[in-house]
Chains A and B, each alone.
Chain A
Amino acid sequence: GENVEQHPSTLSVQEGDSAVIKCTYSDSASNYFPWYKQELGKGPQLIIDIRSNVGEKKDQRIAVTLNKTAKHFSLHITETQPEDSAVYFCAAPWPGSDYKLSFGAGTTVTVRA
């Protein structure tokens, strides 16, 4: 499947500051990149996604950027709040797939009040 690397593995930020998580992928043909948020005892929740025909997408305090040349994409959370504390996963589809996803290892984000 697609090789997706995610950094950092843990991230602690002060409430109100920004958080950035980066992912790289290996297949240049990949064209869909979702981000999921997983809270304790819950399944991954889709928070934002981006397709390869755009370079940036924003939804309130969350934004995703995509650099197809460098094969990396990033999640940006601005004005962090305690409820943003969770594990975040990036994903990319397997080569030639119908959106079967390969996930990064996850980033545990802690927002300090």
Chain B
Amino acid sequence: DSGVTQTPKHLITATGQRVTLRCSPRSGDLSVYWYQQSLDQGLQFLIQYYNGEERAKGNILERFSAQQFPDLHSELNLSSLELGDSALYFCASSGGQNQPQHFGDGTRLSIL
């Protein structure tokens, strides 16, 4: 058990809808990272937050946004969903700069 908790485990929704994925980092970790894993693109970095502030962006679509709250949990918001957004979404956390990242078990998002 990595100590990173993601909810829900599975999410099924339709095109055009909006969903929110939640992540609770390991106790004491200040950094949260979001990744998308799909069969054709592999594991792709989306965005990173550190102690409530956005620190880095990767291949994140404008339809996607995230935030980190004062209690350090994070949410990834996906809107105007398309079939191609179907993927596994992982959250990872680390203690800060130069610290290893530990992943949760992901949320499987299916768009019908």
Contacts and interface: CB of A to CB of B under 8 A. Distances in A.
Interface of A: 1, 32, 34, 36, 41-46, 49, 89, 94, 97-106
Main secondary structure of the interface of B (DSSP, over half): strand
Contacts, number: 60
A99 B42 contact: no
Q: For this complex, into which size category does the number of interface residues on chain B fall?
A: 20 to 34
B2 A45 contact: yes
A36 B33 contact: no
Which of A34, A89, A99, A103 counts the most chain B CB atoms within 10 A? A99
Interface of B: 2, 4, 6, 31, 33, 42-45, 48, 50, 55-56, 58-59, 90, 92, 94, 97-106
Nearest to B90: A43
B45 A45 contact: no
Contacts of A49: 100
A97 B105 CA distance: 24
